[in-house]
A and B are shown apart, each in its own frame.
Chain A
Amino acid sequence: EVQLVESGGGLVQPGGSLRLSCAASGFTFSNYWMSWVRQAPGKGLEWVANTKQDGNEKFYVDSVKGRLTISRDNAKNLLFLQMNSLRAEDTAVYYCARVGYHYDILTGFYWYFDLWGRGTLVTVSS
């Protein structure tokens, strides 16, 4: 079955750290860009970070730069999010998402999130 399963969420104090994991199965993980997307309670979706297939290119939303780090282990089909210096505003459900694509010979690549995990809740509170 094609799926993504997140783990590692929980309650952490402000300034603390947490490491999220996402286990991929049913597809060739190393062929895809992967992302983390978060959703604060009762709020909308916010893209957090991307990593290229080989892990050598990474991109982040400005609000997490220097504090959150995305990485991957293609041998184990795992995606990670290392979260340091956590703040109350980082409280959210964190989704692992596959960056899917469609290629058209005339118009090139189309990019979107085509596979999502169920999410893991991170609560930053004292």
Chain B
Amino acid sequence: EIVLTQSPGTLSLSPGERATLSCRASQSVSSKYLAWYQQKPGQAPRLLIYGASSRAIGVPDRFSGSGSETDFTLTISRLEAEDFAVYYCQHYGNSLFTFGQGTRLEIK
């Protein structure tokens, strides 16, 4: 069973700054099956990135994903007010899905 560990648990930054969120897998995984989601309070999650680095339709290009094997990163180049939310990584394997525990991105 793949376990995804996200860090940090909470990230405090100011608008305009760069955010770097980490997702570490307990064993090597295919980057094809690594996705990132954004969730705002009271809302359903929103797909941001699939295949570790491909942006979903409508996602601004300030969001980017990278990584391979066990280490994956979501980067937000210049934070805007609407970006403060909780972010989850997710893995698919053998018809099962697993989420990381989330990183809360808050305004400093």
Residues of A within 8 A of B (CB): 35, 37, 44-47, 50, 57, 59, 61, 95, 100, 102, 107-114, 116-119
Contact = CB atoms under 8 A, between A and B. Distances in A.
Interface in B24-58: 32-33, 35, 37, 39, 43-47, 50-51, 54, 56
B interface: dominant SS = strand
Nearest to A6: B44
Interface of B: 32-33, 35, 37, 39, 43-47, 50-51, 54, 56, 88, 90, 92, 95-102
A46 B99 contact: yes
Contacts, number: 66
Contact of B44 (A35, A95, A110): A95
A interface: dominant SS = strand
A57 B32 CA distance: 22
B99 A45 contact: yes
